[in-house]
Structure formats: structure tokens, C-alpha cells
A and B are shown apart, each in its own frame.
Chain A
Amino acid sequence: MNTINTEKIKKDFQIFKNKPNLVYLDSGATSFTPDIVVKSMDEYYYKCRANTSRGVYELSEKATQKYEKVRRKVKNFINANDESEIVFTSGTTASINLVAFGLKDTLKHDDEILITASEHHANLIPWQRLVNNENLKVLNISSTGEIDLDEFKNKISKKTKVLAIAHVSNVLGTIYPIKELIKIAKKNNPQIITVIDGAQSVPHIKTDVLDLDCDFLTFSAHKMCGPTGVGVLYGKKTKLDKLTPLFTGGDMIEEVTFKNSIFTEIPHRLEAGSANISGVIGLGSAIDYIENIGIENIRNHEIKLLEYATNKLKETFGDEIEIFGPIDTKKRSGVISFKFKSYHPHDIASILDSYSNICVRAGNHCAMPLHNEVLHVLATTRASFYFYNTKKDIDIFVKGLKKVEQILK
């Protein structure tokens, strides 16, 4: 394990040069992009700007090679069996919708889907549309942001067709014991399909799909140093094969007549239309960048920041600050959502921004039912960390909160 040299790392990001006083604590929403990733995308536009899988000329050939090389890279990054199990999408939301729609034809009216109370709207609404209200089961989340394993066991039956759950909660930061949950789920119902929302986990913790034994995993490039508008859907070959394509059109067919079409094999069957080629190339470069730093080093750095921030917030504000989610940093990703006195999160975020150059998120973070029905607050303020954040950032953040107190009294 190596300590991350943040001084050196910040030099990889042009944005820190352009905004030297910025304290960015919103990587849970979207991360910064290192110059090398931007450059890799520029290179595509400058040197091999052609469509993939279409042209027979050399330029298109080169673009296709670059694009497909990233598929192998992603396969290795999450330890999938085969590169055909990697589908490129526009992001986690698109990936989950692809799975939900793809399963539509195989679900029966009395099938059940199990999610948790902390899901992001992207892992809730696609499932709401799939089954009747009463068949969308919601697993409770405790006040410390955890799942009760006994309740979980009881809620998985032969009727439970799909388990859809985030590996890490984007509000609570909880790292759910996915491997154990999948094991229990498959024991209770060997036919169950497991869909893991990895948007908040893949950028921060080592994710091994074979070890987890999940059927599907979804994540976004823009939360892991990559560009916006690119994501991944991983699926076991046998499971991906059965998905009905949500999008049809160019590049996903074997043969087309006016009356009928025969679709091609995965992954291309699920990638209709021209791809986000530069974006995918950027994702490949982002994976290289992250692997170079080391995902274990990233996790270790975030744990240190999390411990430092939690202690400092408690020391400074005591009970006036309420942090949601697990106390044990081993069970928690670098996310701190909190309530500060009776101050509205919008006021907190606005004051942090205008007086201290600090970016945090305020609102319900696309998890409205979690806020309204579990945490019983209108909104929370969220600070989230990545490997480029420092203890100094947290010192400024705590000082910024004192300013909030001073202004709102």
C-alpha cells in the first residue's frame, strides 16, 4: 500500500491550476478529469476520427481497435470472464434501464423485485415501471444505514425475480455486503437475477464481478475520472443473451428485411447506433490512470479522510451536526451526508460556496424516498471525497461551516 501524494496528483488536473483555491467535495456527483484522459479523447478527434465497425478503410479500423481495446480493459478492471460481457452505454441510468427493459418479457405478473430503501432514483423508477406496486419490495435500512440480514433472508423467496441494489449508497456511504447478500439470495432462489448499481463503488473500491457473483453490474465513467455520457453494463454472458434490446437500429443486426430482423450477438446487440467513441476511449484512459494510482491506495486514502473529517466535525460541532450512515469507516465509503442544526442544506451549500469556494451537494441526491420516509428530513448536505482531496480541504470545510453558523446564527 502506498500513500497518495496529493501535491503531485493535483498537477495532473488542469482544473486545479485554473481554480487553485477550489475545495471540491462533490466527487460523488461527478469527479474531475485528469488532462491525460482529455488528451486521449482529443487524439481520437485529431488522429483517427471515423466511425467504428462500419468502414473498411484504415481510419475506421483504427477507431474500432481503440474502442474495442477499452472493452478488454474494462473486462480486466472488473475481472469479467469475457469481453463480450461488457456493454457500453451512456451511464449507470441507461445501463439499469437496459436491464429493466430487457427483462420485461421474462417477468410474470406475480413476480417480485427487491430493492433497498436507500436506492438512487435510477435504481428505483425503472423497477417501478416493471411490476405492480405491491410486488416491488423494499428492504429497510436501519438508522445506522445498514441492512438486517434476517429481514433480507425473509424477503427473498422463489417469487423474487430480481434483486437490484447499490453496492454503495450515494447518500449514506454504506458499503453493503454484496457478496454475502448475493450468496443468500441465490441460496433462497437459484433463479434470481442480481443487479448491482456500482456507480458509487467501482470508482472507489476494488470490484470483482466473479468474486461478487453478480449477474449485472452498472457504472459511470464520469464518477471515475472519465468523461460524461459514458457508462458500462456488465452482464454474465448467459444473462446478457436473454435481454430484449431496449434500442434497435444500426449496428445491432445480422439481417434485416422489411418484415423482420435478426439481431446480432452481444455486446453489439445492445449497442444500437453510433457509439460515444471518444467517450469510451476516455474511459479506457481513466481506468489506466486509476490503476496507476491503485484502487486500494484510493480506498485507503479515502478512509483516512473519512476518519479525519468525522472526528473533526464531531470535535467542532458535537451534537449540532448529525451524520447519517455507518459510524465504522470500514463499512463506509468517502461520503458524509449530514444535518447541521436547523439550517437548510441549500443555505449551507450556498454559504460554503460564496465564502469559502467549497463545492458540496445539497438536496435529496436523487434519493427522495430515503430522505422523506427513512431519514425524515427534507434534504441533506453531502460532502464526498476522492483521491485528490486533502486534510487541508477538510480543515477549510470545517472552517466554512463555522462561517455558516456565524451568518445564519
Chain B
Amino acid sequence: MSIYQEQILQHYHNPSNNGILQNSTHSSSRNNPTCGDKMRIDMIIKDNKITDISFSGEGCAISQATASMLTEQLKGEKIEKLNNMTKEDIISILGIELSHARLKCALLSLETAQKALNNPKYNEKR
């Protein structure tokens, strides 16, 4: 089965939550050095709840689509949900099998979001 399923391509072409949140309380950036992907996640967290979340950066269809799907899943949720998310959750959201190399692309947004969560004071200057 190809990894380029209709659902993934739809998110790639029309991503949800794509952009920068100016008033974010948590944000973080991460790169994937092998392919040059760049990912930034911004979040607004109030009372342990992710009231808003966005992603930005450049990357392949898999990393962009995953970020879109992940942010959809996290918006309005408690931060525990993000904290407890694992590789397996990402694979199940995508619904496809990924090779080792492409798994890195898929995990970039989750890793960036978790990094932001655990570094609340970290605020990247742009």
C-alpha cells in the first residue's frame, strides 16, 4: 500500500492549523537534519488545556500531513493527552505503515509539540 493515501494528500494540500500563533504561551522548533525538514509548533495553554495550536515550517507530505492531523487531534484537549502520545498513536492517526526513514518525518510534529510542552519558557525569537 502506498503511503500517499487520499486522506494524507488532502491534509498535505489543505492543512489545518497551519501558521504562527503570535500570542502563544508555548512554542518550539525542531529540524530533521537528514532531509532538511523544519517544524515549528505554537500552542496557547490555559489551565492545562491546549486552547489553540498551530504548526509551520517546511517539509515533505508526510511531515506536513501528520502535523495537520496531530494539531486537529490536540486542539481543545488536556496537555496530558499530548504528554502521553507515542509513536504508536501517530501510526494509528496516519493509518499507514512507514519505513524507518519516513517514520522520522511523521514523528517530527509530535516531538516538536512535546518539546514545547516541556519547555514552557522556551520562546524562539523569529
Q: Which segment of B33-41, B42-50, B112-120 sits at the interface?
A: B33-41
Identify A346's interface contact among B12, B13, B33, B60, CB under 8 A: B60
- Taking a contact as CB atoms under 8 Å apart, the answer to whether A409 and B4 are in contact is no
Q: Which residues of B contact A321 (CB under 8 A)?
A: none
Cα distance A372–B33 when bound, in Å?
Answer: 11
Q: Mark B10-38, 1 if CB is under 8 A from A, else 0.
A: 00110000000000000000000111111
Q: How far is the CB of A340 from chain B (nearest CB, A)?
A: 13
- Taking a contact as CB atoms under 8 Å apart, the answer to whether B36 and A379 are in contact is yes
User: A368 an interface residue at 8 Å Cβ cutoff?
Assistant: yes
Q: Which residues of B contact A379 (CB under 8 A)?
A: 35-36
Q: How far is the CB of B12 from chain A (nearest CB, A)?
A: 8
Q: Mark B60-72, 1 if CB is under 8 A from A, else 0.
A: 1110000000000
Q: Which residues of A contact B37 (CB under 8 A)?
A: 344, 346, 378
Main SS at interface, chain A: helix
User: B2 an interface residue at 8 Å Cβ cutoff?
Assistant: yes
Cα distance A350–B58 when bound, in Å?
Answer: 17
- Taking a contact as CB atoms under 8 Å apart, the answer to whether A354 and B3 are in contact is yes
- Knowing A344-B59, A344-B60, the reply to whether A350 touches B36 (Cβ < 8 A) is no
Question: With contacts defined as CB atoms under 8 Å apart, how many contacts are there between chain A and chain B in the complex?
Answer: 57
Main SS at interface, chain B: mixed
Determine the residue in chain A with the shortest Cβ distance to B12.
Answer: A408
- Taking a contact as CB atoms under 8 Å apart, the answer to whether B35 and A408 are in contact is no
- Taking a contact as CB atoms under 8 Å apart, the answer to whether B36 and A347 are in contact is no
Q: Which residues of A contact B3 (CB under 8 A)?
A: 350, 354
- Taking a contact as CB atoms under 8 Å apart, the answer to whether A344 and B2 are in contact is no
- Taking a contact as CB atoms under 8 Å apart, the answer to whether A371 and B36 are in contact is yes
Q: Which residues of B contact A377 (CB under 8 A)?
A: 36
Q: Which residues of A contact B33 (CB under 8 A)?
A: 368
Cα distance A54–B84 when bound, in Å?
Answer: 58
User: A70 an interface residue at 8 Å Cβ cutoff?
Assistant: no
Cα distance A344–B37 when bound, in Å?
Answer: 9
User: B102 an interface residue at 8 Å Cβ cutoff?
Assistant: yes
User: A169 an interface residue at 8 Å Cβ cutoff?
Assistant: no
Q: How far is the CB of B45 from chain A (nearest CB, A)?
A: 30
Q: How far is the CB of B75 from chain A (nearest CB, A)?
A: 25
Cα distance A377–B101 when bound, in Å?
Answer: 20
Q: Mark A309-335, 1 if CB is under 8 A from B, else 0.
A: 000000000000000000000000000
Cα distance A347–B63 when bound, in Å?
Answer: 10
By size class, the interface of chain B is 20 to 34
- Taking a contact as CB atoms under 8 Å apart, the answer to whether A409 and B36 are in contact is no
User: A407 an interface residue at 8 Å Cβ cutoff?
Assistant: yes
Identify B36's interface contact among A351, A354, A363, A408, CB under 8 A: A363
Q: How many residues of A contact B (CB 8 A)?
A: 20
- Taking a contact as CB atoms under 8 Å apart, the answer to whether B102 and A346 are in contact is yes
Cα distance A408–B13 when bound, in Å?
Answer: 8
Q: Which residues of A contact B38 (CB under 8 A)?
A: 378
- Knowing A354-B2, A363-B35, A379-B35, the reply to whether A344 touches B61 (Cβ < 8 A) is yes
Cα distance A319–B38 when bound, in Å?
Answer: 26
Chain A stretch 375-409: residues in CB contact (< 8 A) with chain B:
377-379, 407-409
Q: Which residues of A contact B102 (CB under 8 A)?
A: 346, 350
- Taking a contact as CB atoms under 8 Å apart, the answer to whether A378 and B36 are in contact is yes
Identify B35's interface contact among A355, A378, A409, CB under 8 A: A378
Q: How far is the CB of B13 from chain A (nearest CB, A)?
A: 7
Cα distance A360–B34 when bound, in Å?
Answer: 15
- Taking a contact as CB atoms under 8 Å apart, the answer to whether A378 and B61 are in contact is no
- Taking a contact as CB atoms under 8 Å apart, the answer to whether B35 and A347 are in contact is no
Most A CB atoms within 10 A — which of B12, B13, B36, B101?
B36
User: A284 an interface residue at 8 Å Cβ cutoff?
Assistant: no
Q: How far is the CB of B14 from chain A (nearest CB, A)?
A: 12
- Given A346-B35, A347-B4, output 5 extra A-B contacts at Cβ < 8 Å: A344-B37, A344-B58, A345-B60, A346-B102, A363-B34
The chain B residues found within 8 Å of chain A, CB to CB, are 2-4, 9, 12-13, 33-38, 58-62, 101-102, 105
Nearest 4 Cβ contacts at the A-B interface: A378-B36, A344-B60, A346-B60, A379-B36
The chain A residues found within 8 Å of chain B, CB to CB, are 344-347, 350-351, 354-355, 362-364, 368, 371-372, 377-379, 407-409
